[in-house]
Amino acid sequence: MRVLGIDCGGEYTGYGVVDLHPHGKLCCITCGAIKLSSREALPRRLSTIFIQLGEIIAEHHPDQVAIEEVFYALNVKSALKLGQVRGVAMLAAATAGLEVAEYSPLTIKSSVVGYGRAEKQQVQSMVTRLLELTEPPEPMDASDALAIAICHLHTAGTLERQRVAKVIAV
């Protein structure tokens, strides 16, 4: 299974594509961040996110997309902008016919680090280890996006094992 993780943000929107091989090995296909200029109008920034995520999806063919749920914003205006970025990310996935899963920051950190209140550096360090990368992913938004993808792969794997166990039990 191949998952595109997206870490939505007003200045940077991180992305990371992770494969889960049949024997359980995780592999980073690509990661990075879409940098947005605060000097551009919001519609132009949203268009940039939509176009670039569409290009990433077209190039890497993920099976599913995972994003972080909105959990906190400094103010209402920031929350609204973040919601718009998330909407555009969901639209890019839906336009490509992909399902979107959403995870809370607590769930993502618990899945990757084992502790829901882990610091960003701990998440980055664990992502580097889990994906056997030679260097930590940069910027931090890319590392967060990879963590979201890993969280989805772990969750999807658990749900699939439960489904198979249920079928076998019947």
Residues recognised as catalytic: 7, 68, 141
- Residue identified by tokens 């555009």 is 88
Tell me whether residue 162 is exposed, middle or buried, using C-beta atoms within 10 angstroms of its C-beta: 0 to 12, 13 to 18, 19 or more.
Answer: exposed
Strand, helix or coil for residue 15? strand
- What phi, psi does 75 have (nearest 5°)? -150, 175
Compute the Cα dihedral for 107, 87, 140, 26 and give only its sign: positive
Residue 14: beta bridge partners?
7, 33
CA angle 145/73/9 to nearest 5° reads 35
Alpha helices in 39-139, H assignment, sequence order = 42-60, 76-95, 105-112, 120-130
